[in-house]
Amino acid sequence: MYNTEILFIIFAILFIIGIIIVSYYLYQDSKRPNLPIPPANNNCIKSLDNLINVSNVNNCVLNDGAEGPYKILDGKLIGFHPGAVVANTSTPSLAACSTYCIISSPTNNKCPDGAGQTAYDACIKLTKPVNCNGAAFPVAFSQTNEAGLEYFYIYGQPFTPCQNPFEPLQPT
């Protein structure tokens, strides 16, 4: 019986030590400030205040026959020359922005011979997903009764004119 009493005392001591350790960690955890958890932006959506309203811009069909709706934005409006073709489907920012490199696609985010580098960098800065799980940030939006709210993403530079030419949206 003597061995049973010793085992009971050892178990009781370990149990008390365990309770003290758990209480200590719970106390320490309660002293931590409650920091707000930022909401997840899984869709890479920006506030409409930060986007260009293209609701009144005519759609176009590109000469290669691709259907949209596509819209053309002037370089002054988008923030870099020569402007952009935007579409209501998301194109990964690296693919869309690579069209600004004049000679060929970029390597390690560098346009060959630097041709088009400024526009490429501006496009990446504007569209690259940050803290979200999407292909790109939108740059514009359209809100109509028929389609509701649509986001528009850079599709590429406007090197291919529309089949139904019109003036691109310019700053007012």
Neighbours of 83 (CB within 10 A): 20
Q: What are the angstrom distances between the C-alpha of 75 and each of 16, 32, 120, 145?
A: 72, 49, 13, 28
- Report the pLDDT averaged over residues 147-154: 88
- Report the pLDDT averaged over residues 100-123: 90
Residues 74 and 141 in one domain: yes
Residues 85 and 142 in one domain: yes
Closest CA to 62 of 136, 170, 126, 156: 156
pLDDT at 131 over 70: yes
Output the pLDDT for position 81.
79
What pLDDT digit, counting tens, does each position of 7-51 carry? 888 888 888 888 887 776 666 555 544 544 444 445 687 788 889
Phi-psi region of 71 (alpha: psi -120 to 50; beta: other; left: phi over 0): beta
Please list the alpha-helical segments (H only) found in 32-151: 75-78, 93-97, 117-127
Distance CA 91, CA 127 (A): 10
Report the domain count for the chain: 2
Output the pLDDT for position 171.
54
Output the pLDDT for position 36.
43
Range of the domain at 65: 48-156
The larger pLDDT score, comparing residue 125 to residue 23, is at: 125
Please list the alpha-helical segments (H only) found in 88-150: 93-97, 117-127
Q: What is the mean pLDDT of the chain?
A: 78
The larger pLDDT score, comparing residue 3 to residue 53, is at: 53
Has residue 162 been placed in a domain? no
Task: Tell if the pTM clears 0.85, that is, is over it.
Answer: no
The larger pLDDT score, comparing residue 117 to residue 62, is at: 117
Tokens of 161: 């004119």
Has residue 141 been placed in a domain? yes
Number of residues in the chain:
172
Has residue 172 been placed in a domain? no
Output the pLDDT for position 157.
81
Output the pLDDT for position 117.
93
